[in-house]
Amino acid sequence: MSNKKHSLTIFSLTMITVGSVDSIRNLPATALFGSQLIFYFILGALFFLIPTALVSAELASGWAKQGGIYIWVREAFGKKAGFLAIWLQWIENVIWYPTILSFVGGTIGYLINPSLTTNPYFLWSVIVTCFWGATFLNLRGMSSSAAFSTLCSLAGLLLPMSLIIGLGAVWIVQGNPLQVKFEMASIVPQLSDKSMWVSLTAIMMSFCGIEIATVHANDVKNPQHAFPQALIYSVGIILSTLILGSLAIAIVLPGKDINLVSGIMQAFEAFFRSYHMSWMMPVVAVMLVLGGLGGVSNWIIAPTKGLLVAAEDGNLPDFFQQTNAKGAPRVMLFTQAIIVTVLSALFLFMPSVNGSYWLLTALAAQLYMMMYFIMFIAAIKLRLAAPDHHRPFKIPGGLPGMLFVGGIGIVGVLTTFAVSFIPPDGIDVGNTARYELTLIIGLVLMCSPPFISNWFLSKEVQLEPAV
């Protein structure tokens, strides 16, 4: 089959990359930090987004097989390490689903009655209903979800993101009162400020996912030239939309009033009330719900298929390898839905909705940072162990270039992992010790299945009769 037939333009690669990372859902969490978010986003791009994009692009172009992170880490460290990496990517997404669907629930609740946005039973009901619906949609195969996902991405991301940025710009031009200051002293935080480090958790989660898009690095003409260009454009678009979108919320809402679940709707209502356009609220709500559902539909199958590759490689019992007539990994999809149903019950037991949202965000960030740490180490190992392996895209500068880029990325992920244990000011997460203990227990529980599976499979091998 001709490569030309499947080649992507720089524009296409840029749009795929932006679509994999950019999200309106994260804006309320980053808006909490006011004008300082500009500094945080730039710091996050330098120490995480750019290194992750470069390293994953090289790995994807050199080992362009279905399975993504599993294949890359398996090549470097073997099957068990590869299974741990793909498991971390999969389970992180499982924890992420309740947060994005709580955003959907908050949007629906805000439209019906704003008090519902802090009602944990309402949010839990919406999360469970939406996720099981998306699961059954994906069980029907990729063709059933592709058109829905495309519609949701356009109507639920690009339109509302552009709208809120435009409304924020008009707000400033008209001289309306601002809830944040833009002097240098306000933008650059003090290093001793604890909130600065805590904010990195939300910022880094805003940048996660770019490794999914880089599997297309082999499908672009002249990747050594095209991918850096697409990367520059993508980083510019992602940074500008996330910064401007977050600032649009921060300028109109005081930080103490921002609800992490319904902050987008709060901001739109403030803008529309001022401009006498309240009739637009239901339209925006529909767009945001579509965006949230599209985000889940886009992600619900990709990490699961990667995990299926690992399962078929002998890392999980045969039971988990089952697929239906459409080729969908039905056992894994049902298992995923059950875990999401249980995890979303955190909204019923945490002291506040914001606290539940933040706890899930922090746990997801920690698991994803562990995966990225393994990915950076694997990339360095493969440069040392397989220097002559063909890589259509290669980080410039030889081994020193890889060590520099990978080293910066490792610093970024380790820092984020550590500071995510610090509870944020202004969000009721309960007692600090309980918050940290919950995260530790969550990490142990979420990381243990690969080790349990390896132990179980090794016991099975030992019990097999000798031939």
- What are the residues whose beta carbons fall under 8 Å from the beta carbon of 334, sequence distance 6 or more? 135
**Which tokens in the block code for residue 409?**
């990325």
Residue 66 has a pLDDT of 67
Closest CA to 52 of 333, 291, 424, 369: 369
How far is 138 from 297, CA to CA, in rounded Å? 8
Task: Supply the mean pLDDT for the chain.
Answer: 81
Between 467 and 9, residue with greater pLDDT: 9
Residue 185 has a pLDDT of 64
pLDDT of residue 400 exceeding 90 = yes
- Looking at residue 65, the DSSP 8-state letter turns out to be S
pLDDT range class, residue 414, cuts 50, 70, 90: very high
How far is 189 from 195, CA to CA, in rounded Å? 9
CA distances (Å), origin 392, targets 16, 113, 214, 223, 331 = 19, 54, 12, 6, 36
pLDDT, mean of residues 290-304: 74
* Phi, psi torsion values for 389, nearest 5 degrees: -65, 135
pLDDT range class, residue 88, cuts 50, 70, 90: very high
pLDDT, mean of residues 163-186: 84
Residue 145 has a pLDDT of 54
**Which tokens in the block code for residue 226?**
């095209």
Residue 1 has a pLDDT of 39
355: left (phi over 0), alpha (psi -120 to 50) or beta: alpha
Residue 369, CB half-sphere, CA atoms under 13 Å: how many?
30
pLDDT of residue 14 exceeding 60 = yes
CA distances (Å), origin 461, targets 188, 309, 453, 457, 467 = 58, 20, 12, 6, 12
How far is 52 from 375, CA to CA, in rounded Å? 9
Closest CA to 168 of 59, 250, 286: 250
Please write the tens of the pLDDT for every residue from 19-66: 667 778 778 878 877 778 888 888 888 999 889 988 988 888 888 776
Residue 399 has a pLDDT of 93
pLDDT, mean of residues 344-351: 76
Cβ-count burial of 377 within 10 angstroms (0-12 exposed, 13-18 middle, 19+ buried)? middle
Residue 407 has a pLDDT of 96
Between 457 and 163, residue with greater pLDDT: 163
DSSP helix/strand/coil, 323: coil
pLDDT of residue 282 exceeding 80 = yes
Between 172 and 10, residue with greater pLDDT: 172
Residue 377 has a pLDDT of 97
pLDDT, mean of residues 385-406: 91
∠410-25-209 over CA atoms, to 5°? 35
Looking at 178-187, 327-336, 340-349, which range is the least confident one?
A: 178-187
pLDDT, mean of residues 303-307: 77
Residue 409 has a pLDDT of 95
220 beta partners: 8
Yes or no: say if 250 and 35 are a contact pair by the CB < 8 Å rule.
Answer: yes
CA dihedral (153, 156, 159, 162) positive or negative: negative
Yes or no: say if 295 and 96 are a contact pair by the CB < 8 Å rule.
Answer: no
In percent, the amount of the chain with pLDDT more than 90 equals 18
Q: Is the pTM of this model over 0.85?
A: no
pLDDT of residue 274 exceeding 70 = yes
Yes or no: say if 238 and 48 are a contact pair by the CB < 8 Å rule.
Answer: no
How far is 459 from 141, CA to CA, in rounded Å? 35
Yes or no: say if 432 and 421 are a contact pair by the CB < 8 Å rule.
Answer: no
Domains of the chain: 3-459 (1.20.1740.10)
**Which tokens in the block code for residue 20?**
């994999």
* Phi, psi torsion values for 8, nearest 5 degrees: -105, 150
